[in-house]
Structure 1
C-alpha cells in the first residue's frame, strides 16, 4: 500500500476543482492541497503550492473522497486464476475505489489470524489501494460454528461476514451476534433463506416463467432479514445487511431504524441500475445473487437510496472465468465484476435526476467510512488524502478487454456510461492516472 512506502509523496495541489464532500453534502469551487498523506488545505482560498508541489488544473472536474467498496472478492489466497490483489487493486484504482473490503470466502477461508495477516501483507506488497480483510463469521464460512472474533479482530479484520453465504441456523446467528457485541465488532451478513431460494437462478415472476428458469422469491431475503433484525434487538450487536434487493425488506429495515437498532444496509450498483429484463437472451454475466429484480423493484431501491434508508452501495465484485460463465444460464456461476464501473454506473442515477451527486458519493465513501469507523470519506483538513478526480459527464463505452480485472464478466459489456476517473490518490500518493 502507498502508506507503507518509505518515501513521502510530493505535495499536490488541485486547482479549479468542484469539491464535493459527501460527509456534509456540500459542493464548492476551489482548491485542495494534499501534503504528507493528508488534506492540508481546502476551499476557495486553497491556492498556495509549497516548493516542489505538483499543480493540477482540474478545469471543473469533481474532486471527492475515494470510494470505499464494502464487498469485493480479491482472489487471494487460493483463487488467483480469478483475481489477485494486484489486479483487483488496479481495477479499483481505475474506478476511483481507494479502499476494498476483501471477502473472506477464499481458500483457505479467512477464519484464522494467519490468513488475515497474509492478506494484509499481500496488500502491502502488491496492492495499489487499501485492502481490509473481512474475517469469517463462522468457521469455514460453513454456518455451524462461530469463529474467534477477538483474535481475528486483533490481527486486523475489519468486520465479520460469510460473504455471499447466509447463516441458516438462528441459534448460531444469535451466538455470533452476542459474541461480536462483546468486541464491538460489526457483523456483515447476507440475508437469504437458502431453503426458500432453493435452486432459483433469477427473480421469481413472469420473466422467469417465460425464460423457463427457476425463480427466487423476494421473501427468501425478507424472511432471513426479519430473523436477523429480531436477533439484533435481542443482542444489541452492530449489524449490516450486505445486500438488499427486495422492496419488502426495506419496510422491515425502516422499522428497525425507527426503533433505534444499530443496523445499516447496502445494495449493489447492479441492482440500482439494472433489472431482470436486462438478462435478455440468457446473459449469464447478469446472473447474480440475489437476482436482479423487476423494474418497479429497482425504482423502489433507488428511492430508498435517495432518502438515505439504504446506507451503502457496493460493487459486489465477483470475477468468474470463461469456464464458469460460458454455460447455460442455469448452470453458470453467480457473480459479476464491478470495481472499475461502480462509479460510472452510479452516475446514471445522477444524470437521470434520481439522486444527487453528494448522496451517491456518500453511499460509496463517507457512509461506509462511518460504519467501518475509518478516517476516510470526507474532504476536511487533516483527513487522509484518499482522493479521486473525475469528469462526471465524459462518456465512454465499456470495453471488457480494456478493464483491469483478471476476468471479464461485466454486466455493462458495451454499455455507454458517463464518468471518467482521471486520477486516484491513496494516502497522498497518485496510484492511478488516466
Structure 2
C-alpha cells in the first residue's frame, strides 16, 4: 500500500479483515491472518484465506471483505499517561481533539491525568470527564483520579468515590507527592481496590528552579540544572513505601539509570512496582536543548546519552513495562517564551508509534515487544479490556504500514497544540487506520 492510499473502511458491522500480518503477543501470533469482526468484537481469527474459503465452500454469504494487503494489524495501543486538558484548559486541548490525535497515532484507549481545572479529585469531575468522552471522544477514555485534594499534597482526595465513578488509577502527576506519610496513606487506601498509584518521581526541593538536566550542557547554556538524584530519591522512597504497605506503584516517565537500578532490584524482590518511559526520553538528550527550543523542555528533563542507552537496555530486558506518551499539549503562549519560563511537556500521541518503529530498526525491540510495551502491558496495568485480538475480545485495533514515511509538521498534527520536538522530521511507520469496537475512527 503506497503512502497516498487509504484503507477502504467497512460499511457494515460484520466484515472480514484479510491479507494482514497479525501481531498479537498476548495470543502468541505473528503471521498472516484473517479477522472476522462482528458487532464490535473479534468473532474469529484464522489462517490467511481460511475464512473466505470455508464460507465460499459452504455456499454461505460472506461478510464484507476489507483488504489489508501489505499492512500489519495489532491490538489498539493503550496510553497510560495522557493529558487531555478538559475541563479547564480547552485552549490547549479538548477530549475531542486529544482523542482524535490518539486515534491518528493508533491508540484506542487513553488514561487521562487529573491536573485539570477543576482538578479531578472528586466523583463529580470524574463523571463529567466520562460524560464528555461518551459524547466527544474518538477512542476510549479512562480517567485517573488525583491522589490529593487540589493536587496540594496535603489531604487525600475522594479516592473511593472516584473509583466508584470510574477512575482506574491515582496520581498527582505533574507535581511530586513530597509528603511521605500521605503517600503511605494513599498506598494503604488504594490497596483496597488494587488501584495503582502513578508516581511523578522528582524531589521538588532538588528540582528547585531547575529547567534542564544538571551537567555539562546546563553549565554551557547558563541554565539551572536538575540533578538525576532528584528522580532517584523519590523512586527509592516510593519503593520503600510499597514494601511497607504492599501497595502498587507505577513510576511515570523514568529518565535516569540510577532510578532504573532501584526499580530492577525492587522487581527482583517481588514488589508491586512497574514503570514507563516516554518516546522523547528514548530519543533525545540534554544536548538537544542547545538551541533553547522549548519543545525540548519537559519534566523530568532530557538526560544524557548514557541514560538513553540504559533506558533502551531496560526496555529490551523488561525492566521498563510500558512506553507512555506523557502527551502534554500547550498553546503557543505557554511555549513561545524564554526557555526558563516555558511550560514543561510535549505532545506525543501521534509520533509514539513511529518512534517505536525506529526502535525496531535500531534492534532495540522486536515488533512483538513493541506491541507488548504499547498495548499489552499498559492494558494490564490499567485493568482494562484491551491488548489482544483473541476471539471474543473487543475489536480495538490498529493497522500500520511499517515502511511508509511520515512528515511531521504543525499542519499534519491533529492535536490542538503543536508543541512537538519531532516537527520537521521524517519518521518511518505510518498508522493507516484505527478501529474502536469495530468502527473505523481514523483512516489516513
**TM-score class, shorter:** over 0.9
Partner residue in 2 for 1:211: 221
Post-superposition shift, 1:52? 7.2
Moved more, 231-240 or 46-55: 46-55
Shift in alpha-carbon separation, 1:114–1:9, aligned structure 2, 3 A: farther
* CA contact 1:9–1:429 (8 Å) conserved in 2: no
Count residues with an aligned counterpart.
427
Residue 36 of structure 2 corresponds to residue 26 of structure 1: no
The 2-side partners of 1:16 and 1:421 are apart by 17
Residue 179 of structure 2 corresponds to residue 169 of structure 1:
yes
**For residues 89-134 of structure 1, what are the alpha-carbon distances to aligned partners after superposition, in whole Å with 9 as ceiling and x for unaligned?**
1111011011010110000000110110000010000011001110
- How do 1:44-193 residues align onto structure 2 when only pairs under 5 Å count? 44=47, 46-48=50-52, 51=61, 53-193=63-203
Shift of 1:157: 0.6
| 1:4 alignment partner in structure 2 | none
Task: Note the alpha carbon deviations across 1:351-381, whole angstroms, 9 max, x for none.
Answer: 1111111111111100011111122101211
SS at match of 1:330: helix
Alignment map for 1:27-426 (pairs within 5 Å):
27-44=30-47, 46-48=50-52, 51=61, 53-426=63-436
TM-score w.r.t. length of structure 2:
0.94
2 CA distance for matches of 1:349 and 1:28?
A: 20
Gaps of 5+ in 2: 1-10
For the residue of structure 2 that corresponds to 1:338, the secondary structure is coil
Post-superposition offset of 1:143? 0.7
Rounded Cα–Cα distance in structure 2 between residues aligned with 1:141 and 1:238: 20
User: 2: distance between equivalents of 1:388 and 1:51?
Assistant: 27
Q: 1:424 to 1:172 in 2, by over 3 A?
A: same
SS in 2 for 1:173: helix
Q: Aligned-pair distance for 1:239?
A: 1.4
Aligned partner of residue 101 in structure 2, secondary structure? helix
What is the aligned partner in structure 2 of residue 15 from structure 1? 18
Q: Give the Cα separation in 2 of the matches to 1:199 and 1:242.
A: 21
Of the structure 1 ranges 118-127 and 369-378, higher mean CA displacement relative to structure 2 is found in 369-378
CA–CA separation in structure 2 for the residues paired with 1:9 and 1:180: 43
Structure 2: how far apart are the matches of 1:276 and 1:378? Answer: 37
Contact map agreement 1:10 1:52 (CA 8 A) in 2: no
> Deviations along 1:299-334, whole A, 9 cap, x unmatched?
110110011110011111111111111111111111
In 2, Cα distance between the equivalents of 1:80 and 1:389? 30
TM-score by length of 1: 0.96
After superposition, the CA RMSD in angstroms is 1.4
> Is the alpha carbon distance of 1:263 and 1:32 closer, same or farther for their aligned partners in structure 2, counting shifts above 3 Å?
same
CA contact (8 A) 1:11 1:52 kept: no
Per-residue deviation, residues 6-49 of structure 1 (Å, max 9, x unmatched)? xx961232111111013255311121111111111113155337
Contact 1:99/1:130 (<8 A) preserved: yes
- SS in structure 2 of the partner of residue 393 of structure 1: strand
| Structure 1 stretches lacking a partner, 5+ long | 1-7
CA distance in 2, matches of 1:287, 1:321: 14
Work out the CA distance in 2 between the residues paired with 1:388 and 1:427: 11
- Pick closer, same or farther for the CA change 1:210–1:120 going to 2, 3 Å: same
Q: CA 1:273 to 1:114, structure 2 compared with 1: closer, same or farther past 3 Å?
A: same
C-alpha distance in structure 2 between counterparts of 1:422 and 1:56, whole Å: 13
Distance 1:101 1:78 in 2: 17
